[in-house]
A and B are shown apart, each in its own frame.
Chain A
Amino acid sequence: QKEVEQNSGPLSVPEGAIASLNCTYSDRGSQSFFWYRQYSGKSPELIMSIYSNGDKEDGRFTAQLNKASQYVSLLIRDSQPSDSATYLCAVNPSGATNKLIFGTGTLLAVQP
């Protein structure tokens, strides 16, 4: 059973702080990794894709991938109350050709 694990939270951070969200996955051959943001009752929205080891930055978001440790993270700098949402980690495991495995998500609460 290929799995994606996330801490359900809530992760509470003050406004302006860095939020760090973590995700581990079981399939060592996984090839692509995605972070989605989901507001309550809304659809998942893609915010980051990462395919190779290291960091990838996009505005206030940085995705970090370590395939050896089977670990992917998302950093949100200068967190805003509008960042309060559930963040879903999704992994494309080996051989699956785009059948993503989703974690259950981490609830982030940014306190004003």
Chain B
Amino acid sequence: DADVTQTPRNRITKTGKRIMLECSQTKGHDRMYWYRQDPGLGLRLIYYSFDVKDINKGEISDGYSVSRQAQAKFSLSLESAIPNQTALYFCATSQGNNQPQHFGDGTRLSIL
């Protein structure tokens, strides 16, 4: 089983819909992250959380919200999806300072 699990793996939806992407981890890491990846733009940080009571905006948080329901769970919501939010979304985890991040398999999201 994957250490960092994202659901769903693929999602096609319509403009204006509310969407939730979920991430759970069995690594026991305290830090969790949400990124989006677009061709030519690389990975861009949306939100991150260093523990259950800590939520921080990344560089592109507008139009997104998150919830850290437990140490192992971090969900990303698009309240009213728009086509330019079509992208590949990744959840990642890490533990401690200066340590690498470990990525889930990603969610391919298409908004029509």
User: A97 contacts which chain B residues (CB < 8 A)?
Assistant: 50, 97
Number of B residues whose C-beta is below 8 Å from A?
24
Instruction: Find out whether the CB atom of B43 lies under 8 angstroms from the CB atom of A43.
Output: no
CA distance A51 to B40 in the complex (A): 28
B61 at the A interface (CB under 8 A): no
**B54–chain A nearest beta-carbon distance, Å:** 11
User: B101 contacts which chain A residues (CB < 8 A)?
Assistant: 34, 46, 90, 98, 100
B71 at the A interface (CB under 8 A): no
Instruction: Find out whether the CB atom of B97 lies under 8 angstroms from the CB atom of A98.
Output: yes
CA distance A99 to B99 in the complex (A): 10
Instruction: Find out whether the CB atom of A43 lies under 8 angstroms from the CB atom of B103.
Output: yes
Identify A43's interface contact among B98, B99, B104, CB under 8 A: B104
User: Is the contact region of chain A dominated by helix, strand, or loop, or is it mixed?
Assistant: loop
User: A8 contacts which chain B residues (CB < 8 A)?
Assistant: 40
A residues neighboring B (CB under 8 Å): 8, 31-32, 34, 41-46, 49, 51, 88, 90, 92, 97-100, 102-105
B residues neighboring A (CB under 8 Å): 31, 40-43, 45, 48, 50, 58, 88, 90, 94, 96-106, 108
User: Would you list 27 pairs from A and B whose C-beta atoms are within 8 A, ordered by A residue?
Assistant: A8-B40, A32-B98, A32-B99, A32-B100, A34-B100, A41-B88, A41-B108, A42-B105, A43-B103, A44-B43, A44-B103, A45-B103, A51-B98, A88-B42, A88-B43, A90-B101, A92-B98, A97-B50, A98-B50, A98-B94, A99-B45, A99-B58, A102-B42, A102-B43, A104-B40, A104-B42, A105-B42
Seed contacts A42-B106, A88-B43, A99-B45; 14 additional CB < 8 Å A-B pairs: A32-B98, A32-B100, A34-B100, A43-B90, A43-B106, A49-B100, A51-B98, A88-B42, A98-B97, A98-B99, A98-B101, A99-B58, A104-B40, A105-B42
